[in-house]
Amino acid sequence: MSNEQMIDIKGPLIGEIEVPGDKSMTHRAIMLASLATGQSTIYKPLLGEDCLRTIEIFKLLGVNIELAEEKIIVDSPGYNKFKTPHQTLYTGNSGTTTRLLAGLLSGLNLNCVLSGDASIGKRPMDRVMKPLRLMGANITGIDDNFTPLIIKPASINGITYKMEVASAQVKSALLFASLFSNDSSKITELDVSRNHTETMFEQFNIPISISGKEITTQPNAIEHIKAKDFYVPGDISSAAFFIVAALITPGSDITIHNVGINPTRSGIIDIVKQMEGNIECLNIIDTSEPTASIRVKYTPNLKPVLIEGDIVPKAIDELPIIALLCTQASGTSIIKDAEELKVKETNRIDTTADMLGLLGFELQPTDDGLIIHPSEFKKSATVDSLTDHRIGMMLAIASLLSDKPLNIRQFDAVNVSFPGFLPKLMLLENEG
C-alpha cells in the first residue's frame, strides 16, 4: 500500500446512495454457510479484501464458493468433511477473520496455522487464546500473544466466563468454539457488544439464548446447523463517513438506503442526535437485523458531546470519523472508555489525533480516548492512512472542510471495507 490519492471534492453533497454490505455480517455468513452442509446464498455481501480472505480460507478447507453479481454462493460438504490445509491460512489485515477463526478452528479437529500481514502480527491475540484454552483448545502463538497461531485438534469443553474486554471478536471466537462442545457454556459480557454472531446463529438454526449480558450455548450445537440464504444489510460503519460528510458540508442533503441499524451497532446515530445533528431514520424494516434509510442534512450548530460507557462499544469503529465531527461542534467534546481503539489496524487514538493535527485540528489523545476542541482545517499537509481503512476514509471526509485538495498516502487501504468509496463520494458531489 504505497499509493497516494489526491482528494478534491467540493460540497454540497446531494443525492441517494447505498453503502456496501456489512463487513461483520459478511464474515459470519461465510463462516456459518461453510459449516453447514448444502448450498447457501449470501446476498449483497461485502467483497472487500478482508471478506475475500475469509472466503479463500474456507476454499482451502474444501468448501466450494463462487462469487456472482452481488452474491456469494456457498456449496459446502459440511464441517465434518473439511480437509487439513497443507499451507498457512492467510488472514491478511483482517482481525475479524483471525480472531473468529481462532475459535472456530479450535473445535474442528484439524491442524492449522493462522497468519496475517505485519499489522495483524502486532495485534494482541491473548485475549482470544486465554479463554479458548480454558475451553480445552490447543492453540499457541508467538510470545503467547501474536500470530502466527498454531491450532491443533482438541476436545472443546463448556465454560463459564466473564469477559475481560468488551469485544465482539473475543465473544464470537468463544461462541464459535462452543459449537463443538458436549457441554453448554455461559459467557457474560463486560458491556454489550455487537451481537451479529448471536442473531446469525439463530438464522442458521443454531440454538442460543440471551439474557441481558449473559449468553448461554447448547451442547453439540453444531449438529443443528442448516444451510440458509442470508441478506446482508448495508454497513453502518461505512455509512458513518457519509453521515458525517453531510453534517459538516454546507447545503448537503443525502439519503443512505438499506443501512443496518442493529441497536448494538447504531451508536453513531445516538451520538449525532445528542449533538442535535439533522438525522432521521426512514423505511425501518424491523427484523433481528433491522435496516433503515438514513437521511442526513447539513447542521451548522452541532453541540459538543461526552462519549463514554455503554455507547462506546456501539460506536467503536466509527470513533475516528466521530472525532472529526466533534471538531465542528460549538464546544469541547470528550471520548472516554475507548482503550479498544489502541489495538485496531492502528492505534486509532494516536493516529486520529496525529493526522488531523497535521491539518490544524485540535485533538488531545488520552489513555482511553480523545479531547476534541472546536477547530478548523488550517493547513495543507500530506497525510497517511497508515494502512488503516477507517483512517483513510476519515481523512478523505476531512478534506471537505478545505478549499484545497488533500493528498493521502496509502489510500488503497479503504478497499478493506469499502471498495469504490471515492467514486461514491464523487457521485454525491456531481449530483449536487
| CA angle in degrees (0–180, nearest 5) for 114-194-45 | 65
For residue 256, list its beta bridge partners.
17, 294
Question: 420 vs 22, 69, 115, 411, CA distance in Å?
Answer: 15, 15, 27, 12
Q: How far apart are CA 210 and CA 352, in angstroms?
A: 35
Instruction: List the beta bridge partners of residue 365.
Output: 370
Q: What is the per-residue burial (b if ≥16 Cβ within 10 Å, else e) of 258-290?
A: bbbbbebbbbbbebbebbebbbeeeeeeeeebb
End-to-end CA distance of the chain: 32
Sort residue 38 into left (φ over 0), alpha (ψ -120 to 50) or beta: left
Distance of alpha carbon 21 from alpha carbon 235, whole angstroms: 5
Residues classed as catalytic: 317
3-class state of residue 411 by DSSP: helix
Q: Where are the alpha helices (DSSP H) in 8-89?
A: 23-35, 49-60
d(CA 413, CA 1): 7
Q: Distance (Å, rounded) from C-alpha 90 to C-alpha 152?
A: 17
What dihedral do alpha carbons 405, 410, 411, 412 form, nearest 10°? 150
Distance, in Å, from the CA atom of 182 to the CA atom of 199, rounded to the nearest integer, reads 22
User: Starting from the edge strand earliest in sequence, which strands make up the sheet with 4-7, in order?
Assistant: 4-7, 406-409, 383-384
Whether 430 contacts 274, CB under 8 Å: no
The secondary structure of residue 302, as a DSSP letter, is B
Q: Strand, helix or coil at 27?
A: helix
The widest CA-to-CA distance across the chain, in whole angstroms, is: 62
Say which residue the cell 433491522 belongs to.
290
